[in-house]
Structure 1
Amino acid sequence: MINQEQYKIIENCVMKDYKNTAGIVVMKKGQLMLEQYFNGCDAESMVHVYSVTKSIVSILIGIALDQGFIKSIDQKVLDFFPEYVIKRGEKLIQQITLRDLLIMQAPFKYRIPPYLKYFKSDDWLQFTLDLLGGRKPVKTFNYTPLIGPDIFTGILRRSSGQTVLEFAREYLFEPLGINVEKSIYFNSKEEQMAFNKAKDINGWAADLTGLNAGGWGLTLSTLDMAKIGQLYLDNGLWKGKQIVSEQWVKMSTKRQNFWEQEKLAYGYLWWVIDEEKHSAAAVGDGGNVIYYNAEHDLVIAITSLFVPRAKDRLAFIKNTIEPLFIG
């Protein structure tokens, strides 16, 4: 465990620059080194982790491959939705693969993401498929944080015959001791805004067809986040059981694409922080992060209550938290 002086360094940094932090958990060599909560939160608090959801979905895709529900990430997206009616003159959508979506290079037919229309839609999968493709070629990097990942949850539902939450419970959550209680449905904008700010809602957002969101909508505790980090640090192994293949963990946290604008490497719905040190992260809006560094056998999880334009938690981890544990 860290000493009182180190504890104060982290606490002072939170109070100064990261005031919306809900919890911080640090694991080293599989041992709990720090568990610290703020803003009235505790170990039971469940926070909407935003785009961290995408990295969880990546794990589920890896498991679906392991289980034979999906044959290859080079399968075409429309192989899973043969009933989808392609609009006249559209050919590009037929070429797009799961790999294109995993590494964020699939094109979409919008310049400004139509978030309001998306949230008002009863069927997020249909809405997203209707925007996939267009006339532009597949790009090198085209980050689509919200509109796009529902295709993956649609594929999981279609290929496994289970709801996404059922699949996640059976193959990932229950083996790790993570409790996600229910699918959450919103009847109004106000309900969704309340969900975004809540500390005590346990579940995963879903549309009216029952499809769980692929790019957002999952609530987790800080300890839950640390478990996911530990799973990936240990190459998919948890208490002697291979939850997801080592190959998938390595490929999903290996540089597969690069965002020139932000100078960030990308794997399969995971951010690659340092390939040499085997360091990667799942990052969600508002300051939610799962970070691990295999070189130092270190996992750092941070949950945060949403505020717009939250300060970069990866900088907080790299500059303040991590140095306290690798000396």
Structure 2
Amino acid sequence: MQTFPWPSGQAARTPPAALYHPSPAEGDEFGPALRRALAHRPRRIAPVHFYDEAGSALFEAICRQPEYYVTRVEMGILMAHAEAIAARIGPNADIVEFGAGSSRKFRLLLEALQAPRRYVPIDVSGAHLQREALALRLDHPLLEVSPVVADFMRPFRLPPLAPPAARRVGLYLGSSFGNFDMDQAQAFLTMAGHALAGGGLLIGIDLVKDPAVLHAAYNDAAGITAAFNRNLLARANRELQTDFLPDQFHHHACYHPAHQRIEMHLVSKTRQTVHLDGETYDFLEGESLHTECAHKFTLTGFRALAESVGLQPGPVWLDPQRWFALQWLDCPAHFERPRG
């Protein structure tokens, strides 16, 4: 196994060759993360904690909403440019997908790929990932599928690159890269540079656009995004025996042009008290739990960010409206982040 640690000094996890289930001591640390969020003001928790089984299913439903352009537009780019993207990936590649979720985007590329060596999807939702991996194996019995259940924001391991794989290529599709703050974004790209050295990374980038389009995407008329947001509280009730009243929180999502990002919050409708592990946490009326930032990018700004960590921007594939981009980044064989 090859280890790809984040710059935290933590010991890496050790998955078996197939599906890795964290031990209870490791877990995804939802409980500690929620305790930290509730104990500090302003209150904020990382969006990775949306994705239990129910949250993953709700996100798939969001992707089918007419207002949520991201999946529709990105799928259009993949269909229009699958051959060119596959040519860039090359034959016999080991494909690693960060935050794999559903495999349907990879499936679009799979038809165009030249003899892919193996597919390694990484995701935090083990049950969801296992179902997707099984379905992919059934549909493509000659493809080796080696799922890894892990939070790639922490140290993790990949199966070693095995012959006849020519190189390792990463996919980070969708717009999840925008959930990172600047330090996290640089850390992710640095990790990817090491993990994919000698190969490349295809990354989805949601571009700056009309704020009205962005507002609608995160406030769909069917209320699926609102349910997805509140499911974080329902998950806490299910797993941590908290006593949140999800219906007593507003879903609030708005675009901040100065920061080029959507912010998503759960805003308390009234003064209320929540209990967790014997501790009491008060919410004032109008007080929020900040659950997500979704940054939007310009192509120039994103390429400068990639270059700042030593990655080399290559081709970019866009939709006709220039709402979304799939950017190729070369990962040098001897990857080393530039100094300064």
TM-score relative to the length of structure 2:
0.26
TM-score relative to the length of structure 1:
0.26
Structure with the bigger RCO (C-alpha within 8 Å, sep 6+) is 1
